[in-house]
Amino acid sequence: MANPTGWKPSMEKGAAAGADSQENGLMGATRGLAMEEPLVFEQGSPGRVGVSLPPVPAGADPAAEIPAALLRGEIAGMPEMGELEVVRHFTRLSQWNWGIDTGFYPLGSCTMKYNPKSSEALARLPGFAGAHPLLPGSMSQGALELIYELERSLSEVAGFPASVMSPAAGAQGELVGLMMIRAYHVARGNPRHKVLIPDTAHGTNPASAAFNGYSTVQLESGPDGRLHPETVAKAMDEDVAAIMITNPNTLGIFESHIAEIAAIVHAKGGLVYGDGANFNALLGVARPGDMGFDVMQYNLHKTFATPHGGGGPGSGPVGVAEALIPFMPLPVVVKEGETYRLVTDPAERPSTVGKVREFWGNMGMFVRAWALIRELGPEGLRRVAELAVLNANYVRSELKGHFNLPYETETLHEVVFDDKLQKDAGVTTMDLAKRLIDHGSHPPTVYFPLVVHGALMIEPTETESKETLDQFVAAMRSIAAESKANPEALKAAPLKTVRARLDETRAARKPVLRWTPGMKVE
Amino acid sequence: MRYHPHTPGDVRQMLDVCGVSSISDLFRSIPARLRLERPLDVPAATDEVSLLAEFQRLAARNRTEHPPFIGAGAYAHHVPPVVDQLLLRGEFFTAYTPYQPEIAQGTLQALFEWQTFVTLLTGLEISNASMYDGASATAEAVLLATRTTSRDKVVVSAALHPEYRKVLSTYLASTGDEIVTVPYGPDGRTDLAALDAAVDDRTAAVVLGYPNFFGVIDALPEAAAIAKRGGALAISATSEAVSLGLLQAPGALGADVAVGTLQSFGNGVSFGGPAPGFLAIREGLVRQMPGRVAGATVDRTGRRGFVLTLSTREQHIRREKATSNICTNAGLAALAATIHLSLLGKGGLAHLARLNHARGKQLRDAMKKAGFGLRFTGPTFNEAAFEVGDAQAVVDRLAKRGIAAGVPLSRWYPDDPRMKGALLSVATELHTPELIELFAQSVRE
């Protein structure tokens, strides 16, 4: 295979320069022995195989039963590799990745906390991993009990009478929340047409509203980064189905007028949707259901520590107020005496909005989330919020002055800085983020929320130690100093990664979205 | 608490830096009347030893001692231990969406490989980086079709997985698009005359299972031709993806969009989730595709690398004008499938598919010998509907012996008298000939 990655030894030159942990005593990123690794389709050899399977019994000839036009032979282009080749391939790929297990990952609004290893062992118990979703109730009581207990606890933690468990991720939870809101209004004779969304919202909010046929009205947050009751009052009318609020919002600021805002919306017959992406800040401290929220999705992969997995699977159960219970999608798990039962027949819930995911939801994530709740208990859950907020405020205090804080308002679990103090030297948020990689940290979320130009959104989570935060702070301060002294070094970053900055424009202009024989990307 | 590293000294020092005297001061922005002034009413904390015992007790209440004879959209296959060991590498496991491609090349290249595998299996040109599951992928495919054609009706086979149809109708409830369901014939395939009659100039898409819910290899080429004649897109949905190692690729049979799940590769049945949904399309549809996609590019020094691309379709850029609200998808489940497909490769996949077809035949033969015929006459892969008299009674009786027999089709087709005695059952490489024999005998007893 002729060097498909285009790597040349000369490319190593210069990579050794730059942020060096030995020089400045910061976090410890050095270059390990990272191997170049082609695609699986570019390696192997004809005839190799990486599995061991029982033989195909004689006497079964597909061609005798299935029309020839519907049969295919071996698939050209499939790799042919032995097991060790596959093991090395994916081991090497993993080494090109940064994960929470590698180091600090303060990706704001994503709640990159430690994912307990024991949860992995529990989810792999054959009774869970091997349970078919359509097992008769008598054969699946353990799974149903777990879903039931998790539903009860999630509802308690967020202050709702019930929760929908099936949504596959937070965004699908939003979709479900808005479907129920729509059904609620339809049942009252008018679906209404508008949804109010503050300018600090995640992009999924307007997308979910549009998906349900609602037009969105953007609300401006005030100079303190909060949504103000008068802004809501002005926009609120009887054609507004709901307002979607993230609390704390994406600036990390608690929407302290939430109760007044909810009252304004409720007075005109609207409902209040809570985006639970930032729920980690409130565990055991305050409950959205007590603040006037009518519905909120939980992101189990954020607050309840199920692994993010390189982009899912997530899990997005949705807590609902009393008024929305009739509209919950199916299934729901009920307890009858000592027996648990899945309700799947709309005849039992005639107002249900239907079903959004095949079967019952991401059970694998339920097992992990329940394990976390069981290990933490009431005190531990509250400690999650306390330490997450302490960590974020500590980082905020230590970085203030080195980076511009666009909002002085108190923050909870995350803090948003921007690149205002660095811009004059020509250094952008992207440069700061890329340089941070050389220091051995995942960058914060960048350029979000949209209300802050050049935002750097930092969420440390509760599982990080003071030492890790101190190293991060030292790295950030060093970068702030470097942006004045040697801005060019930041432009060149990252230098210690397996790849330098990638050409995203080219990727979009000339899309190459799969391997094809002889593929060349140069 | 092992996950909370703060010592009392750490907390004290950190509070000092923050300029407050207690942690509760940090929550001042929450009005007092909104704070919870009692402990949460959840079970008391427990330790790892007790936790393991508790979960083992729960897990033991799910009967999984035999491989299930239930398929119906979730398929128990042998997952080589190597898949899980690679999957558990923390660098994959604990990473998120590859927003910073320089330190996410592992995830990105693996997604690119997933996309390639999906295009090879489906015979289509483009795949996204995964969906939640087969059902929502089907709904997203239909929405793609309505956007592309600016039409407002979809024609769906009654032999498409009932859960996929339910999710589709839930997704379409707010768009007002019409769903027309066409029946299946005595062969278990979609009634082509009815399909032809249902497709008109309002039809955006025709949706078929391949194989369909009854395990029958449906008439995809004919249905795709009808769709094409009517100016609609042909969508095929596959929940048993091992079949694609034996059956002609949907794209080669005229499908414009292929969706489903690759759960059969690398992923356990896990009570129904997670599963790696997939969505593949013809090239011309790419701007309407939902979800993330990885693409190849070069870095500043000219080396090949991978990034997320074409993001102007997506919610974080387009917000309310996005092609979908999907954000996080099923990355790790897709990685599991990618690893398993890499191990299988060309020869292994063909072998596995033929083995599954053969086990299906052994099941059909054993049931026939035991006196149970097939409900449908159409060709099948590894799953089929059997006439067993009272299907629910069979399921209940075998459950007492720890055998998951299959699903009574009357559960989803209560109005079709033909389904009264139909039991849908599957056999995969996990079912030995002896177990299949035992199963057929047990159904008869």
- Tell whether A260 is covered by a domain: yes
Residue A21 burial (10 A CB sphere; 0-12, 13-18, 19+): middle
CB contact under 8 A, A179 and B174: yes
Of B154, B18, B132, residue with least CA distance to A386: B18
* Average pLDDT value for residue range A441-445: 97
Q: What is the pLDDT of residue B175?
A: 86
Q: What is the pLDDT of residue B318?
A: 78
Taking the alpha carbons of B210, B216, B217, B221 in that order, is the dihedral positive or negative?
Answer: negative
Collect all residues with Cβ–Cβ distance below 8 Å to B445 and sequence separation of at least 6.
B397
Length of chain B counted residue by residue: 445
User: A-contacting residues of B 117-156, CB under 8 Å?
Assistant: 119-121, 125-127, 129-130, 132-136
Residue A28 pLDDT class (50, 70, 90 cuts): low
pLDDT at A207 > cutoff 60? yes
- Give B-chain residues touching A443 at CB under 8 angstroms: 100
Q: What is the pLDDT of residue A12?
A: 42
Angle between helices B331-369 and B433-444 (to 10 degrees): 60
Of A35, A4, A31, residue with least CA distance to A18: A31
CB contact under 8 A, A514 and B80: no
CB contact under 8 A, B166 and A355: yes
Local structure of residue A403 (DSSP, 8 states): B
State residue B194 phi and psi, 5-degree precision.
-65, -40
Please tell me the least confidently modeled range out of A13-17, A50-54, B255-259.
A13-17
CB contact under 8 A, A314 and B10: no
pLDDT at A27 > cutoff 80? no
CB contact under 8 A, A91 and B89: yes
Q: For B239-296, what is each residue's pLDDT tens digit?
A: 999 999 999 999 999 999 999 999 999 999 999 999 999 999 999 999 999 999 999 9
Q: What is the pLDDT of residue B355?
A: 98
Spatial distance between the Cα atoms of A279 and A297, rounded to a whole number of angstroms: 9
CB contact under 8 A, A374 and B62: no
* Average pLDDT value for residue range B334-345: 98
The three-state secondary structure class of B258 is strand
Using CB atoms, pick whichever of A175, A290, A307 lies closest to residue B94.
Answer: A307
pLDDT at A406 > cutoff 70? yes
Say how many Å lie between the first and final Cα of chain B, rounded.
Answer: 55
CB contact under 8 A, B379 and A174: no
How many distinct structural domains can be found in chain A? Answer: 1
* Average pLDDT value for residue range B154-167: 98
* Average pLDDT value for residue range A165-187: 96
The complex's ipTM?
Answer: 0.97
**Domain residues for A299?**
120-373
CB contact under 8 A, B270 and A131: yes
CA B51 to chain A, closest CA, distance in angstroms equals 7
Using CB atoms, pick whichever of A65, A141, A497 lies closest to residue B103.
Answer: A497
- Give A-chain residues touching B1 at CB under 8 angstroms: 376, 380, 383
Using CB atoms, pick whichever of B133, B175, B351 lies closest to residue A168.
Answer: B133
Pair B206, B155: CB distance under 8 Å: yes
Residue A522 pLDDT class (50, 70, 90 cuts): confident
CATH 3.90.1150.10 matches B347-444: yes
Q: For A292-341, what is each residue's pLDDT tens digit?
A: 999 999 999 999 999 999 999 999 999 999 999 999 999 999 999 999 99
Identify the CATH number of the domain in which residue A153 sits: 3.40.640.10
Other residues' Cβ atoms within 10 Å of the Cβ of residue B402: 11
- Give B-chain residues touching A145 at CB under 8 angstroms: 58, 61
* Average pLDDT value for residue range A169-175: 93
CB contact under 8 A, B274 and A521: no
Collect all residues with Cβ–Cβ distance below 8 Å to B129 and sequence separation of at least 6.
A311, B111, B114, B115, B291, B292, B293, B294, B308, B329, B331, B334
Both tokens of A251, joined, read 């600036």
Residue A35 pLDDT class (50, 70, 90 cuts): confident
CA A241 to chain B, closest CA, distance in angstroms equals 14
pLDDT at A495 > cutoff 60? yes
- Tell whether A60 is covered by a domain: no
Q: What is the pLDDT of residue A26?
A: 55
pLDDT at A2 > cutoff 80? no
- Tell whether A199 is covered by a domain: yes
Q: For chain B, what is the mean pLDDT? A: 96
For the question of whether the overall pTM of this predicted structure is more than 0.95, the answer is: yes
Q: What is the pLDDT of residue A9?
A: 42
* CA angle, B414 then B417 then B421, to 5°: 85
Residue A25 pLDDT class (50, 70, 90 cuts): very low
* CB-defined contacts A:B, below 8 A: 700
pLDDT at A15 > cutoff 60? no
Q: Convert A66-92 to b/e letters by CB count within 10 Å (16 or more is b).
A: beeebebeebeebbbbebebbbebbbb
Using CB atoms, pick whichever of B23, B248, B320 lies closest to residue A72.
Answer: B248
- Give B-chain residues touching A359 at CB under 8 angstroms: 73-74, 163, 271-273
Local structure of residue A280 (DSSP, 8 states): G
Instruction: Search chain B and give the residue with CA nearest A50.
Output: B343
The percentage of chain A sitting over the pLDDT mark of 90, rounded to a whole number, equals: 91
Tell me the residue ranges of DSSP E strands in B173-311.
178-182, 203-209, 233-238, 257-261, 277-281, 294-298, 304-308
Residue A16 pLDDT class (50, 70, 90 cuts): very low
Q: For A273-293, what is each residue's pLDDT tens digit?
A: 999 999 999 999 999 999 999
User: A-contacting residues of B 185-214, CB under 8 Å?
Assistant: none
Collect all residues with Cβ–Cβ distance below 8 Å to A518 and sequence separation of at least 6.
none
CB contact under 8 A, B163 and A359: yes
User: The sheet that has A240-246: what strands, in order across it?
Assistant: A162-164, A318-320, A295-298, A271-276, A240-246, A194-198, A215-219
Mutation target vs A (from B49, B65, B96; most A CBs, 10 A cutoff):
B96
CB contact under 8 A, B342 and A86: yes
User: A-contacting residues of B 258-297, CB under 8 Å?
Assistant: 268-275, 286, 292-297
**Every domain of chain B and the residues it spans:** 81-339, 347-444
- Give B-chain residues touching A285 at CB under 8 angstroms: 27, 30, 35-36
Indicate the Cα dihedral angle B189, B190, B194, B196, nearest 10°: -110
Architecture, CATH, for domain B81-339: 3-Layer(aba) Sandwich (3.40)
* Average pLDDT value for residue range B424-441: 98
CA B101 to chain A, closest CA, distance in angstroms equals 7
Instruction: Search chain A and give the residue with CA nearest B311.
Output: A508
- Tell whether A93 is covered by a domain: no
Residue A61's alpha-carbon distances to B219, B296, B346, B357, B370, in angstroms, are 20, 41, 19, 9, 22
The answer to whether residue B106 neighbours chain A at the CB level (below 8 Å) is yes
- Give A-chain residues touching B63 at CB under 8 angstroms: 135, 139-140
pLDDT at A11 > cutoff 60? no
Residue-wise DSSP of A33-64 = -PPP---GGGSB-TT------PPPPTT--HHH
Residue A487 burial (10 A CB sphere; 0-12, 13-18, 19+): middle
The three-state secondary structure class of B300 is coil
